[in-house]
Amino acid sequence: MTTKESATKVPTLNVNERLEKLSKNRQEIVRPVLEHPRDYVLLSVRALASRLGTDPATIVRTVRGLGFASYREFQHHLHEMSLAFATSLDTLQSGARHGGLPGKIEVSLEQDVKNLQGLKNSLEPKRLATLAKRVYEARSILVLAGDLAQSLAHYFEYQLSILALPIVAATSAGRIAHLTRGSNKQDLVFAISFRRGLRQTVEGAQLARGRGAYCVGITDTYLSPLAQECHEVFLASIESPSFIASYTAPIALFNAILVTCGEFRRDRTLSVAREITEEQRAGSRWYGD
């Protein structure tokens, strides 16, 4: 799923609110599943019922009481929860079964390829073209991020600034607050945050949207608060078999956006490239010059 609209295929009502409306018995049955989704996400309805000491019919009725049309839809929600609430320990333990250093390296590379394939399958060129149009029409482009995602914000800022576009990265809570406070409907905001969503980034997107800016979320799950706060979202998996978050797919996503921007006004891009050609060939910053 890549858009906010597709995310709404899963019930948007707060599951916790729905949970409180269930009978006490059903609340106690399903609560462990919602608190530890990784332990249950792969189980069939029969296996889940057996694990919880109940019957499949009760599980199905409970799932529907939570607002899901089917058990399969509930499983998808559990999968997204396992992504959104994953910790470094969770991801590290998920790769523990792969023995030996060579095996772990191979699994890491395979996961990166899988993340890239997921991005390739979901990315829509028409959406990128529409986004590129917004990039060129914006009065200013603001990129919000924090923690490890700062690296993505600065990468995108550096690359897009080559085209002399008015882009600024804000990666601290104070800077995000100050810059978004001055945003308006002429501005474009990229908010980058994965899993549960970093407070400063989500609140920055809220403030920018409240001021009229068009907000684009970059995240890895439709359960991210960015999926609700932004006008549209692009999903890029950061799954990894170790303690790290893999940014292979997010970097590829930004590369796709940059390529689209470069081609959207190709004559302008060629003009910029000609200007910097000599510096790239023989500039004083190169070693040995």
User: What would the pLDDT profile of 270-280 be if each residue is shown by its tens digit?
Assistant: 999 888 887 77
DSSP letter at 148 equals: G
Continuous H helices in the chain: 4-7, 15-21, 24-35, 45-52, 56-65, 71-84, 88-94, 101-122, 125-137, 150-161, 173-181, 199-210, 226-229, 248-264, 266-282
Q: Which two tokens stand for residue 140?
A: 């200013």
Residue-wise pLDDT tens digits, 71-88: 998 888 888 887 777 776
Residue 260: name the closest of 95, 91, 135, 114 by CA: 135
pLDDT of residue 231: 96
- pLDDT for 94 equals 65
Phi, psi angle pair for 234, to nearest 5°: -115, 130
Helix (H) or strand (E) holding 168: strand 167-170
Specify whether domain 119-282 bears CATH 3.40.50.10490: yes
- CATH number of this structure's domain 4-85, picked from the four choices 1.10.443.10, 1.10.10.10, 1.20.272.10, 1.20.5.510: 1.10.10.10
Three-state DSSP string of 182-205: CCCCCCEEEEECCCCCCHHHHHHH
Instruction: From 248, 244, 246, select the one nearest 256 (Cα to Cα).
Output: 248
Q: Name the residue ranges covered by the structural domains of the chain.
A: 4-85, 119-282
The secondary structure of residue 222, as a DSSP letter, is T
Half-sphere exposure of 281 (CA within 13 A, CB side): 6
Q: What DSSP string runs through 98-140?
A: S-SHHHHHHHHHHHHHHHHHHHHHH--HHHHHHHHHHHHH-S-
- What's the pLDDT score for residue 88? 67
Which pLDDT value is given to residue 243?
85
Q: What is the pTM of this model?
A: 0.78
Low-confidence residues in the chain, pLDDT < 70: 1-13, 88-99, 283, 288-289
